[in-house]
Amino acid sequence: MPWTTVQADKRPPAEPFGSNGGEREISYRSAIREALDQALELDPRVFLIGEGIDDPGGVFGTTAGLAATHGSKRVMDMPLAENGLTGVAAGAAMTGMRPVLIHMRVDFLPMAMDQIINHVAKWSYMTGGRTRVPLTMRAIIGRGWGSAAQHSQSLHSLFAHIPGLRVVMPATPHDAKGMLLGCIASGVPSLVIEHRWLYDRLGPVPEEPYTVPAGTGAILRKGDHVTLAGVSHMVVELLQAAEELAEHGINAEVLDLRSVRPLDEALLITSVRKTGRLVVADTGWRHCGISAEVAAVVAEHAWDRLKAPVRRICLADCPTPASPVLEQAYYPGVAEIVAAAGSLL
Amino acid sequence: MDIDRKRLLEIYRVLQRIRCFEERIVNLYPDQEMRTPVHLCLGQEGVAAGVCLHLRREDYIFSTHRSHGHCIAKGMPLESIAAELYGRVDGCARGRGGSMHLVDPRHGIPGSTAIVGGSIPLAVGAALSAHLQGNSRIAVAFFGDGASEEGSFHESLNFAALRRLPVIFVCENNFYATNSPLSARQPGVGIAEKGAAYGIPGQLVDGNDTLTVYHAAARAVARARSGQGPTLLECRTYRWKGHVGPQCDVEQGCRPRLELEEWKSRCPIAALRAKLCTDGTATDAELAMIEHEVATEVTTAFDFARQSAFPNPGSLLDNVE
């Protein structure tokens, strides 16, 4: 299928995230693969399971070759049974293992809602902490090439509503590795949501294993005039928008929320209290989405410093269309962010 | 396979322990101090006892909303179950789970789920864990007839068969999902027969004949323990109370009275008692002594539960991951 090999984002790659000129730079895709490789190497309790994860494609390259290195007992294909196998992975997690369950697409997670929401998320609490579920799930947001309504969803806000789950959305190669390792090491049910359009982006990634904890955001660019906050691929758009705004003398502060549950409220509040303005950009829809939660946190804790209304940049309120013309109308980007930020000043 | 006298008396004691514990719930429930929906297994005790007595302490069971019997048969202390029913801090889940989420990792009970079909893949996962860790543990999934209609049942059997995992699927077919009869829900293919679709031996068992369950479970456990893979047991039985609560639902017209009376006449405990007395395994006095000891245990457990403290409201958010 063409969209498994084509880099859909045709724009020239931006500067590597956080480049300091010295460190090794690898792609987001390679960073994920390295994290899985190291987790398997470091912890005998870790195993990977997912549909086709041992095939030559290896989940867009993120599991390529891992079965050959670590064996079929630790990198296993599975039947097309998302709910059942989520339960299987959860049962293994409850009894001493550290599974990483991998879905090629976020859109497959709704098939596993019963196990994720009713079981995985609640087990520790409803057993009084006597049985924990150290399960990590990965799922990838698709976009473009007519992926349409069932191959492109960003459902993080749905999961972020549920107490007992951690939901992270790394935007940089550094965080892709560190957050995945952090989730596996945490012993807590975690959902790592990746974005296909980030896969080829380069950035500095330390070779040794390290963890980035859920619940911490990151400031990717300092500024005083407006806070631009977002998740996943929208962080790329925000950084580019900040460049454009700078040309107009507007210094934007760019926050990568990174984690939608827990949300780094302190980082967000501090930034907005400083700038007095907020544009929040989500890869998902507006209604009851993470952008609403971000706006609410700001309303509760930075109201007295706001100089302008909060602006939200989200998907159009419809399922994803297939035609490229409609796709273009559906996905907001740099232009919308720049316009929104400009309207606040 | 002969069962020695000691084991027969142990089976009888476990049956009595479940029966007595649940009858005590029926007596005390009107006090409204147990504020948790109870799904009683009165009448179904033979399945729990017949299966769990084969299991080692470290073997896993995953049970359902109707889990008291399984957990008691697996060796869980009665105090921790009773205190959980009363929402107390000494409950097995520290008052977080209630009747439907009994847990005791020290006795191989990682937890119980109230979502029909949920226990099945979890047990397969525990079996996968044992397989990957190379230990000799096995796992048992308890579930009802309704769960055999869920996708998770089929997904779990498929995967367990594919990997030849050490798991036993124990379906307690009591013919009703809440008030919906089996005949309104399934086309008449036996639940045990569904195993064949996945290459899993399926056996139909009289769930009210505890020793028949015991023998069938022995074969399933031996298969699992020796790496031959999963077994599906359909144990036909009947619950004496309604789907939930201490009342019988016959008065409301949920089930035919004759049907209930017929099944009650086949009480698994009365049947075993008669057999043990008739064949000279035990005297009436010996069995009465067991009944007396069990009743004392149950009284102690409920006294403990009612004296236990409630959880501190300040601990509300504990163990939210």
- For the stretch A296-307, pLDDT in tens is 999 999 999 999
Closest approach of A263 to chain B, Cα-based (Å)? 14
Among candidate residues A95, A164, A111, the one with its CA nearest the CA of residue B62 = A95
pLDDT score of B299 more than 50? yes
Is B76 within 8 Å of chain A by CB? no
Q: Look at residue A1 and tell me whether its pLDDT is greater than 80.
A: no
pLDDT at B305: 98
Per-residue DSSP letters for B100-118? GG--BGGGTB--B-SSTTT
Answer whether B171's CB lies under 8 Å from B233's CB. Answer: yes
Domain presence at residue B315: no
Contacts of B178 (CB under 8 A, 6+ apart): B243
d(CA A191, CA A178): 14
Identify which of A84, A89, A166 has the shortest CB distance to residue B156.
Answer: A84
Asked if residue A262 has a cis previous peptide bond (ω within 30° of 0), the answer is: yes
Distance from CA of B202 to the nearest CA of A (A): 20
A301 is an active site residue: no
Q: Where are the beta strands (DSSP E) in chain B?
A: 60-62, 139-144, 167-173, 176-177, 180-181, 202-206, 231-236
Are the C-beta atoms of residues B278 and B270 closer than 8 Å to each other?
no
Inter-chain residue contact A125 with B96, CB threshold 8 Å = yes
B96 contacts on A by Cβ (under 8 Å): 125-128
Give a yes or no: residue B263 inside a domain: yes
How many of the other CB atoms lie within 10 Å of CB of A45? 17
**Contact at CB, B121 and A90, closer than 8 angstroms:** yes
Which of A73, A83, A95 is closest, CB to CB, to B151? Answer: A83
| Mean pLDDT, range B16-44, rounded to an integer | 98
B319/A89 CB distance under 8 A? no
Q: How far is A141 from chain B (nearest CA, A)?
A: 25
Is residue A7's pLDDT more than 70? Answer: no
Q: Considering only alpha carbons, which residue of chain A is nearest residue B104?
A: A130
Residue type present at position A153: Q
Q: Does B230 touch chain A (CB under 8 A)?
A: no
Name the minimum distance, in Å, from the CA of B262 to any CA of chain A: 37
Domain that holds residue B20: 5-305
Q: Outline where A259-303 has alpha helix (H).
A: 265-275, 290-301
CA distance B303 to chain A (A): 22
> What CATH code would you report for A218-344?
3.40.50.920
Q: What is the ipTM of this complex?
A: 0.96
Does residue B97 belong to the interface with chain A, where contact is any CB pair within 8 Å? yes
B92 contacts chain A (CB < 8 A): yes
Phi, psi of B48 (to 5 degrees): -60, -50
CATH architecture group of domain A25-204: 3-Layer(aba) Sandwich (3.40)
- Given the residues A25, A51, A82, A293, select the one marked as catalytic: A82
**Helix/strand/coil for B141:** strand
With beta carbons under 8 A apart, name residues in chain B contacting A126. Answer: 93, 96-97, 101, 111
Q: How do B139-144 and B167-173 pair as beta strands?
A: parallel
A-interface mutation test, from B36, B59, B112, B122, most A Cβ less than 10 A away: B122
Q: Average per-residue pLDDT in chain A?
A: 94
Whether A151 is catalytic is yes
With an 8 Å Cβ cutoff, is B78 touching chain A? Answer: no
B266, B212 Cβ separation under 8 angstroms? no
Q: Are strands A25-27 and A46-50 parallel, antiparallel or unpaired?
A: unpaired
Q: What are phi and psi of B108, to 5 degrees?
A: 70, 30
Cα nearest neighbour of B139 on chain A:
A91
Please compute the mean of the pLDDT values over residues B121-146 and round it to a whole number.
98
Q: Flag whether B166 is in a domain.
A: yes
B53-76: pLDDT as tens digits: 999 999 999 999 999 999 999 999
pLDDT of residue B260: 97
Characterize the bridge pairing of strands B180-181 and B202-206: unpaired
In a domain, B45, yes or no: yes
pLDDT at B158 exceeding the cut of 50: yes
pTM score over 0.90: yes
Residue A138 forms beta bridges with which residues?
Answer: A102, A192
With contacts defined as CB-CB under 8 Å, which chain A residues touch B117? 114
Average pLDDT over residues A312-327: 98
pLDDT-based confidence at residue B254 (cuts at 50, 70, 90)? very high
* Mean pLDDT, range B200-214, rounded to an integer: 98
The residue among A20, A26, A14 whose CA lies nearest residue A239 is A14
CA of B134, closest CA in chain A: separation in Å? 11
Tally Cβ neighbours within 10 Å of residue A110: 14
pLDDT at A188 > cutoff 60: yes
Please state the domain count of chain B.
1
* Structure tokens given for A13: 């790659």
End-to-end CA distance of chain B: 48
Q: Across the interface, do B125 and A91 touch by the CB < 8 Å criterion?
A: yes
d(CA A84, CA B121): 6
Q: How much is the pLDDT for B101?
A: 98
Provide mean pLDDT across the span A118-123. Answer: 98
- The answer to whether B321 faces chain A, any CB pair under 8 Å, is yes
For residues A154-177, give the mean pLDDT.
98
DSSP secondary structure, B225-240, as one string: HTT---EEEEEE---S
Query: What are φ and ψ of residue A226, in 5° steps?
Result: -155, 145
Residues of A with CB under 8 A from a CB of B: 47, 73, 78-79, 81, 83-97, 114-115, 118-119, 121, 123-133, 163-166, 188-189
A23: DSSP letter: S
**Model confidence at B321, in pLDDT bands (50, 70, 90)?**
confident
Which residues lie across from A229 on neighbouring strands? A255, A280
Predicted local confidence at residue A8, as pLDDT: 42
For B99, which residue in chain A has the nearest alpha carbon?
Answer: A126
Above 90 in pLDDT, residue B203? yes
Find the CB nearest B321 among A86, A87, A189: A189
Instruction: Give the model's pLDDT for residue A13.
Output: 45
Cβ of B124 under 8 Å from any chain A Cβ? yes
- Determine, for residues A78 and B159 on separate chains, whether the beta-carbon distance falls below 8 Å: yes
Q: Please pick, among A70, A119, A151, A174, the residue that the annotation labels catalytic.
A: A151
CATH of the domain at B249: 3.40.50.970
Beta-bridge partner residues of A194 = A140
| Domain layout of chain A by residue ranges | 25-204, 218-344
Return the closest-CA partner of residue A331 out of A106, A9, A29.
A9
